[in-house]
Structure 1
Amino acid sequence: MIYKIYPLVVFLLLSFGKDSKNTTELKTATTKSIAKVEKVAIDVKIENTYNALKSNNFALPELKIFSEALKGFYLLKERGAIQKDILTLIDFSLSSNTKRLWVIDLSSNTILFQSLVAHGRNTGEEFASAFSNSNSSFKSSLGFYATGEIYQGKHGASLRLDGLERGVNDNARERGVVVHGADYVSESFIRNHKRLGRSQGCPALPVELTNEIIQTIKNKSCLYIYHPSRSFAMEEKLFS
């Protein structure tokens, strides 16, 4: 009888394997479909948020950069790495002679500030082009940060930053990369030198705006520094 039962067992095993494979493929396809739907939903949500921004007569950041920043914001908020509905966006693809920093209140969809902001002296002249996470590099670091506490430093009131991307900006606190005011961040400096002044790697602000901005963004809000030279995978780099 064994010769009659054996083919049946083989058939059942093969059929089970086939069903298992089909089930796995179905699950994979379903997961991909759900992820695609979620991505579309997030993209629509972000575009709607962008279109509803109250500009306060400030220029809007580019949609692509705003979208990347907001996706990171959502992820970091979910993980508890940030707590406030405040997003600070810096676009280092722009000339340092332009106002390339935005502070956005996402709870009211309002742009609160648009400002000049300096990059590191070894990051470039008028345009930012080279970045580092290393001590004494005098270069800016890209990516997502959580804002920290205010302290009084050599530039007056300053705001500590915690880099949230391994190998990209997670040495920020150790390096002393902070938000502070500087007199070389001004329209008059641009007129006299044809470009904005540069920092030792800090996102330095105009003196007259510093206190108001750091009071707004302090204590676990999201700051994102963008540059097109970098490809970015949030899920792999961000941590809480």
Structure 2
Amino acid sequence: MSRYTALYRLILALIILFGLFAFSASFTNTHKNTTKKKIVSVLKNNIDAKVDLVYSSLKTNRFELPKQECFDVALKGFYALKDKGLIKSNILTLIDFSMSSNLKRLWVIDLSNNVVLFQSLVAHGRNTGEEFATNFSNTPESFKSSLGFYVTGEVYNGKHGISLKLDGLEKGLNDNARNRAVVVHGADYVSESFIKNHQRLGRSQGCPAVPVEFVSNIIEMIKGQSCLYIYHPSIVNNFKQNKSIS
């Protein structure tokens, strides 16, 4: 066998070995990616199943249940925020701004015992809409409501009496809440009598205002770094992309 033939065979062998190595690496990466996708899919299915189970097992305590789509988004966000250590309490306050302001669209839910603790009327901002909330803003002096996830802050006595500060957790969506003085407080325009006289609930300057007679009880239930979520269908995809939580 000539020297050139031996060299040719050596080169050919090296090419085959390189090809096998490349194929093996490609197969390994493909396998890893497939495995990763399967794990993500399993985790997603597990969280969906967990959320469905919590919703189906909620004890209403004579109150109505929130819509499941609204609850699902709120609970998934609650779990994510709890994992990050941004909330401490197992109380979830859910406000559904897809509903008429003439309906009780605020729920306080105890997730430790899977029970609805309270349901109430709640106002939206004066520039957010009339009976229905349609326009939202994070801008100071906009007098509009801000959507998304919040953590409850300090309890204090202000011009509206006992009130509860809120910190928005979503950049660009509600993170100006504290600077805007968006808080939970009581208001006399949040009442059945106001609805009867004006055909809609009264409106705030952007705060989730609640009935005066219930404000102390509501604040007592939700204080202590609990999660408050204000829902509207227009922002559901924003959270699903998981890009906005601080």
Q: TM-score, normalised by structure 2?
A: 0.95
Q: Which residue of 2 aligns with 1:67?
A: 72
For residues 102-113 of structure 1, the aligned pairs below 5 Å read: 102-113=107-118
Superposition deviation, residue 233 in structure 1: 3.0
Name the structure 1 match of 2:245.
238
Matched residues, number: 239
- 1:129-175 deviation line (CA, Å, top 9, x unaligned): 01111111111011100110101111011101011111111111111
| Secondary structure of residue in 1 paired with 2:119 | strand
Unaligned runs of 5+ in 1: none
1:139 equivalent in structure 2: 144
CA distance in 1, matches of 2:19, 2:244: 42
Match of 2:33 in 1: 28
Query: Secondary structure, in 3 states, of the residue corresponding to 2:214?
Result: helix
**Cα RMSD, aligned residues only:** 1.0
State the percentage of identical aligned residues.
61
**SS of equivalent residue, structure 1 residue 173:** coil
Cα displacement (A) at 1:35: 1.2
- Please report how far the alpha carbon of residue 14 of structure 1 lies from its aligned counterpart in structure 2 after TM superposition: 2.1
1:1-240 maps to which residues of 2 (within 5 A)? 1-230=6-235, 231-234=237-240, 235-239=242-246
State the distance in 2 between where 1:53 and 1:63 align.
11
Separation in 2, partners of 1:114, 1:68 = 18
The one-letter amino acid of 1:29's match is T
| Structure-2 separation of matches of 1:29 and 1:166 | 33
Stretches of 4+ aligned residues off by more than 4 angstroms: none
The residue identity in structure 1 corresponding to 2:11 is Y
C-alpha deviation, 1:232, in angstroms: 2.3
SS at match of 2:144: coil
- State the structure with more CA Rg: 2
- Secondary structure of the structure 2 residue equivalent to 1:97: coil
1:4 Cα shift?
2.0
Give the superposition deviation at 1:12: 1.7
Distance in 2, matches of 1:195 and 1:164, equals 30
